Amino acid sequence: MANDFVISNVKMFKPNGSVEVANIHITNDKISAITQGEVTGAKVIDGKNKFATPGLVNAHTHASMTLLRSYSDDKALMDWLQKDIWPIEDKMKRRDIYWGAALAAVEMIKSGTTAFADMYGPCMEEVAKVVDESGLRGSLSQGIIGFADGDKKLAANVELYKNFHGAANGRITVMFGPHAIYTCPPDFLKKVVGEASKLGAEIHMHMNETKTEIEDCIKNYGKRPFEVVAETGLLDLGMLAAHCVHLSDNEIEIIRAKKVRVAHNPGSNMKLASGIAPVTKLLDKGVTVALGTDGASSNNNLDMLEEIRLAALLAKVDTLNPLAVPAAQAIQMATEFGAKALNLKNVGRLEEGCKADIVLWDMSGVEWQPNYNPTSLLVYSANSAAADTVIVDGQILMEGRELKTLDEEKILAEFKACANRLTGN
């Protein structure tokens, strides 16, 4: 942690959504200055023909599910889960969680992601290890199913929080991860509130993903999911709510009033045919809407640039308004709003005093030409292979597409061994 360098002469995405050419000075873990003009006497990364944005924040994923990528697709939801996904997940061991998350880290860095909110388990301490080693930022939560071994999982989440919240210079944070209203009854959620509130921890939970979930909730509790959850006290702890596809006006009002942050997962919601989240309605109410990929078995990648594009395109066709979610707003959702969603302070903006979480996108490909508007090009034309240099907390994790903290070859070999053992291939 003795970083001291400058990214010179780079087109930079500013917090207000405009672009200007500047030098970004990095000292230790922070952006120490943003200047104009020539730079001398320092370690310099040449920013010419690069576009600098804040690092992308994946606000909802299940990293180790990379192990299940392409194992089961184009199936009905319950067939997919019950026949294919859950039986394999039941077999996952400590090393699977580690190598699955390690491959996810490689994939995230190579596509410009610098922080992620992960809900999975068991052995979330293995994901913490990957976050530590990779140099990424991770907000981790133990996925808790209230039935069966809920109390054990809740205890594991407590341990995770105690051992890792704030670790690795604050790059690791911990939330509590009650899975969803259909797997965690209200009485169990109250237990979660009890444990999390003792620690001051926040909540990461799947909310209102499918129509069936809403219908079952109304059948069981006479109310919609956010109404039930609000009564448990869970929302008062601070919640990152993934999906939020099907929302009543009253639920949108609850989300606004309780400052729930929403992780919109357009790729997953489209692929699983869950529906289209009312993103513009939420944004209009001032709600923080971030973006996430969901797990790699329902997406099927961890490519945040795709989610940025899908969010911008889907909002337009859904509202029949070509002005909905313009390019700069889509980038903000994946950066500044992502950082807010994960409750990361001074992250997600390229300005003095903020954490140095930065991606340099290489604009040399023909799909970046002509270059009238890098923001528009990144959102509507580029692909994530343009991620050239990735910096987190002032540390360079990738430069010229070469990984600096992770051994891709070794990870790939160990990952394949895990996948083969899990599926018996």
Contact in structure between 178 and 234 (CB atoms under 8 Å): yes
> What angle, rounded to 10 degrees, do the helices at 94-110 and 408-423 form?
130
Q: E-strand spans in 28-81?
A: 30-35, 43-46, 50-54, 56-61
CB of 207 to its own copies, least distance (A): 18
C-beta closer to its own copies: residue 258 or 316: 316
What is the closest distance, in whole angstroms, from the C-beta atom of residue 94 to its own copies in the complex? 19
Pick out residues in 303-322 that bind its own copies (CB under 8 A).
303, 306, 309-310, 312-314, 316-317, 319-322
One of 21, 35, 75, 190 touching its own copies (CB under 8 A)? 75
Told to check if 53 binds its own copies by CB under 8 A, we report no
Asked if 64 and 95 touch (Cβ cutoff 8 Å), the reply is no
Cβ proximity to its own copies, 173 vs 297, nearer residue = 297
Asked if residue 107 lies in contact with residue 390, where contact means CB atoms within 8 angstroms, the answer is: no
Q: Report the DSSP pairing between strands 4-13 and 50-54.
A: parallel
DSSP 145: -
Nearest to 342 by CA among 204, 186, 221: 204
For the CA atoms of 172, 173, 175, 177, the dihedral, rounded to the nearest 10 degrees, stands at -10
Contact pick of 66, 139, 141, 395 for its own copies (by CB under 8 A): 66
**25 lines the binding site for its own copies (CB under 8 A):** no
Among positions 191, 223, 270, 421, the unique one binding its own copies when judged by CB under 8 A: 270
| Contacting its own copies within 365-404 (CB under 8 A) | 365-367, 369-374, 376-377, 380-385
CA nearest to 95, candidates 418, 410, 409, 407: 418
- C-beta separation of 403 from 109 below 8 A: yes
Cα pseudo-dihedral 94, 66, 303, 113, rounded to 10: 10
Amino acid of residue 387: A
Q: Is 409 in the site for its own copies (CB under 8 A)?
A: no
Residue closer to its own copies (CB basis): 186 or 326: 326
CB of 22 to its own copies, least distance (A): 20
Query: Which amino acid is present at 353?
Result: G
DSSP readout, 368-423?
Answer: G-S-S-HHHHHHHT--GGGEEEEEETTEEEEETTEESS--HHHHHHHHHHHHHHHH
Any contact of residue 413 with its own copies (CB under 8 A)?
no
Residue 130 touching its own copies (CB under 8 A):
no
**Among residues 271, 281, 285, 421, which is the contact residue for its own copies, using CB under 8 A?**
271
User: Among residue numbers 235 through 264, which ones bind its own copies (CB under 8 A)?
Assistant: none
Contact flag: residue 148 with its own copies (CB under 8 A): no
In this complex, which beta carbon is closest to its own copies, that of residue 215 or of residue 352? 215
User: How far is residue 185's CA from residue 221's CA, in Å, rounded to a whole number?
Assistant: 9
CB 395, min distance to its own copies, A:
21
Taking CB under 8 A as the rule, does residue 179 contact its own copies?
Answer: no
Amino acid letter at 176? F
String of contacts with its own copies for each residue 286-305, x by CB under 8 A:
----------x--xxxxx--
Per CB under 8 A, 416 contacts its own copies:
yes
169 interacts with its own copies by CB under 8 A: no
Rounded to 10°, the helix 327-334/304-319 angle is 130
Cβ at position 307, least distance to its own copies in Å:
12
Given candidates 63, 101, 103, 354, which one binds its own copies under the rule CB under 8 A? 103
Q: Which of the residues 327 through 366 are near its own copies (CB under 8 A)?
A: 327, 365-366
Cβ 39 to its own copies, closest distance in Å? 26
222 binds its own copies (CB under 8 A): no
CA angle 413, 306, 397 (to 5 degrees): 50
The answer to whether the bond into 300 is cis (omega within 30° of 0) is yes
Distance CA 190, CA 199 (A): 15
Nearest approach, Cβ of 106 to its own copies (angstroms)?
A: 5
- What is the smallest separation between the CB atom of 356 and its own copies, expressed in angstroms? 25
Please identify which residue in 4, 73, 236, 407 interacts with its own copies, judged by CB under 8 A: 73
Under the binding rule (CB under 8 A), the answer on residue 412 touching its own copies is: yes
